[in-house]
């Protein structure tokens, strides 16, 4: 079978760190081109300054991975789908829920695969955590996602702008895991979003959810953590405590601890290839919906200005 010719649109931090090695490590794909307005691209790979130029003058492609900031994602995605190209959307899949719905309808109509990728769901501990929790009664959940924005998002202006999500940019990764591993749906009860007085997006958030069985779910997001970073989910159950740490890579069960390898992006690309070969799409907006609800229902408070 011929490899799927794929272009990366938005060759920034995540594309270079994860997409390029995952594509090069998967025989189902060949990296046909990259696109970015201000970047020189990669040695030996055709590079174009815009999606327009790629579709007009570039090499033929079967698929595109959209790795831009979310605010510009819809127009690029609609243009690519309009050309009959399979589409991989980095998380979050859009800046609004309605635009993702419109893309899903367009992909169905055109007959191509649309993949709303949630990389944290492919962390090594997540699938076994989901299987273990399926048999348990959930008593409570605690999510602590505290990191240093200056380390992980240096100088990224878009992340602080409307649609950039602020601290929910990493926080939505935690929600992508929790929506996947808990057996029942859950919803927001109360939230406080803390915004620097010079920024349009939160630097911290405190959220209380409840699942449909009544179990409380608390989420603590903070971008001001220096020193050790925390990406932990603790689930108390009738059969003891489950903990996912290091963003889902390490699973602690009452019976012991399992350390997994870094398989997130290889897993995403295997899934994308399977979707294309099978003529299917995978678009789950649950994590984005919970974030939208936090912006809809949360109270805002202001804190000190943030400077990179
Ligand atoms: P980034 O480093 O700021 O890179 C964004 C890239 O998008 C840049 O190369 C930029 O090009 C390009 N771009 C912007 N507008 C464009 C347009 N109209 N057409 C083509 N390219 C355009 O951001 P990032 O950290 O990689 O994040 C990108 C997405 O990945 C976000 O949704 C983020 O949530 C997600 N993500 C990030 C991480 C992470 O650790 N950073 C992890 C997982 C997922 P120029 O620089 O040339 O202007």
Are 106 and 141 part of one and the same domain? no
By most ligand atoms within 8 Å of CB, the mutation choice from 9, 11, 12, 231 for ligand 1 is: 12
Looking at the whole model, is its pTM more than 0.95? yes
Q: How many domains does the chain have?
A: 2
pLDDT for 195: 98
Are 161 and 208 part of one and the same domain? yes
Residue 261 pLDDT greater than 90, yes or no: no
pLDDT interval class at 53 (50, 70, 90): very high
Residue 308 lies in a domain: no
Are 186 and 299 part of one and the same domain? yes
Are 296 and 164 part of one and the same domain? yes
Q: What are phi and psi of 88, to 5 degrees?
A: -110, 120
pLDDT for 136: 97
Burial class (CB in 10 A: 0-12, 13-18, 19+), 97: middle
pLDDT for 102: 98
Cα–ligand 1 centroid distance for 67 (angstroms)? 5
Cα–ligand 1 centroid distance for 77 (angstroms)? 14
Residue 287 lies in a domain: no
Residue 142 lies in a domain: yes
Closest C-alpha to ligand 1, atom 40: 14
CA proximity to 101, closest of 306, 305, 257, 292: 292
Q: Tens digit of pLDDT for each residue in 194-230?
A: 999 999 999 999 999 999 999 999 999 999 999 999 9
Query: ∠ CA(252), CA(258), CA(264), 5° rounding?
Result: 105
Residue 43 lies in a domain: yes
| Active site residues per annotation | 91
Residue 300 pLDDT greater than 90, yes or no: yes
Are 25 and 139 part of one and the same domain? no
As given in the structure block, the two tokens for residue 27 are 């025989």
CATH number of the domain to which 18 belongs: 3.40.50.720
Start-to-end C-alpha separation, the chain: 48
The residue whose two tokens read 């691209």 is: 41
Strands 47-48 and 29-35: parallel
If you ran DSSP here, which 8-state letter would residue 2 be given? P
Q: Tens digit of pLDDT for each residue in 163-204?
A: 999 999 999 999 999 999 999 999 999 999 999 999 999 999
Q: Whole domain around residue 142: which residue ranges?
A: 120-261+292-303
Are 111 and 185 part of one and the same domain? no
Are 175 and 234 part of one and the same domain? yes
By most ligand atoms within 8 Å of CB, the mutation choice from 14, 51, 269 for ligand 1 is: 14
Are 146 and 49 part of one and the same domain? no
How many other CB atoms are there within 10 angstroms of residue 281's CB atom? 18
Cα–ligand 1 centroid distance for 70 (angstroms)? 8
Residues with CB under 6 A from ligand 1: 9-15, 35-39, 51, 67-70, 72, 90-91, 119, 152, 156, 169
Closest C-alpha to ligand 1, atom 39: 14
Q: Tens digit of pLDDT for each residue in 111-130?
A: 999 999 999 999 999 999 99
Are 70 and 212 part of one and the same domain? no
pLDDT interval class at 259 (50, 70, 90): confident
The SS3 call for residue 121 is helix
């Amino acid at each position: 079978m011929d490899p799927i010719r794929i272009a990366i649109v938005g060759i920034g931090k995540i594309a270079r760190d994860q997409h390029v090695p995952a594509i090069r490590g998967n025989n189902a794909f060949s990296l046909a081109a990259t696109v970015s307005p201000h970047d020189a691209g990669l040695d030996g790979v055709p590079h174009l300054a815009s999606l327009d130029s790629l579709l007009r003058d570039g090499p033929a492609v079967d698929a595109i991975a959209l790795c831009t900031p979310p605010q510009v994602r819809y127009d690029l995605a609609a243009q690519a789908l309009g050309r009959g190209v399979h589409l991989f959307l980095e998380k979050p899949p859009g800046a609004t829920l309605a635009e993702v719905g419109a893309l899903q309808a367009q992909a169905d109509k055109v007959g191509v695969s649309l993949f709303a990728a949630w990389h944290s769901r492919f962390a090594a501990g997540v699938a076994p955590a989901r299987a273990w929790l399926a048999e348990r009664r959930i008593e409570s959940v605690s999510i602590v996602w505290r990191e240093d924005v200056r380390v992980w998002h240096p100088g990224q202006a878009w992340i602080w702008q409307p649609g950039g999500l602020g601290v929910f940019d990493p926080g939505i990764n935690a929600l992508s895991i929790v929506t996947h591993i808990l057996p029942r749906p859950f919803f927001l009860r109360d939230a406080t979003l803390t915004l620097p007085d010079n920024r349009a997006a939160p630097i911290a958030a405190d959220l209380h959810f409840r699942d449909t069985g009544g179990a409380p779910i608390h989420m603590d997001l903070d971008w001001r953590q220096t020193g050790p970073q925390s990406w932990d989910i603790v689930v108390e159950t009738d059969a003891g405590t489950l903990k996912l740490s290091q963003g889902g890579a390490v699973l602690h069960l009452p019976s012991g601890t399992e350390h997994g390898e870094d398989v997130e992006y290889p897993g995403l690309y295997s899934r994308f290839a399977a979707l294309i070969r099978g003529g299917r799409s995978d678009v789950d907006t649950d994590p984005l919906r919970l974030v939208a609800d936090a912006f809809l229902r949360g109270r805002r408070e202001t804190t000190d200005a943030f400077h990179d």
